[in-house]
Amino acid sequence: MDALPMFPLGSVLFPGNLLPLQIFEPRYLTMLRDVAGGNGRFGVVLIERGFEVGGGDQRFPIGTVATVEQLQPTADGRVRLLARGGDRFDVVRWLPEDPYPCAEVRTLPALEWSSEQLSHLAETERTVRRALVVTSEYRADLWPSDVKLSDDPVTRSWQLAWISPLGALDQLALLRSSSVGELLEHTARLTTEALDLLPMQFPDDPV
């Protein structure tokens, strides 16, 4: 088991995906100094209840290791951070917050690719890209439907989970996937369900 500094957020980080943040809260600025002076790694978990700022939040017990790629201090004392998701983990035990959250974690196995999943990957990608086209008529905060994805099939599978127009709880369910097939199947199903719900979310605008 490893002990990691932890950054609870209102969003999910998937393996291979980039995480841009602006850090201003003193405890997390301290955390970044420690991380930068160490191995450059911290954990990201989704907040279950509460807020990113101020503490007192409750967190889901699964997350992703983030590795710092860029740190840029700003004139007003903030730090621009760019990190990349790596291994997934389960939280074994939360440690005292002195002064920032830390936890003991157990690394989860990386997903393994099989060429038998090629057609499944292509089908899920078509579903996600179609959903982005349709949903863009109602929302502006989406990835473009022609966004370029990684050539690595496992990374591409995680990216499809990330760009799909899903909420954080659906993304958390995808983070728990135990195989590439499960990840692709659930991404396609949740994306289709989200598309089916559009008429109820926007009743005056038929899909």
Q: In the predicted model, is pLDDT for residue 111 greater than 80? A: yes
Nearest to 87 by CA among 15, 19, 154, 3: 15
The dihedral through the CA atoms of 38, 70, 58, 182 has a sign that is: negative
Q: In the predicted model, is pLDDT for residue 166 greater than 70? A: yes
Helix (H, G, I), strand (E, B) or coil at 42: strand
Q: List the CATH code of the domain at 2-107.
A: 2.30.130.40
Average pLDDT value for the chain: 91
Q: In the predicted model, is pLDDT for residue 55 greater than 70? A: no
d(CA 108, CA 59): 18
Q: In the predicted model, is pLDDT for residue 204 greater than 60? A: no
Q: How far is CA 51 from CA 45, 47, 60, 140, in A?
A: 12, 7, 13, 24
Give the global pTM: 0.89
Domain boundaries along the sequence of the chain = 2-107, 115-201
Cβ atoms of 53 and 121 closer than 8 Å: no
- pLDDT at position 207: 46
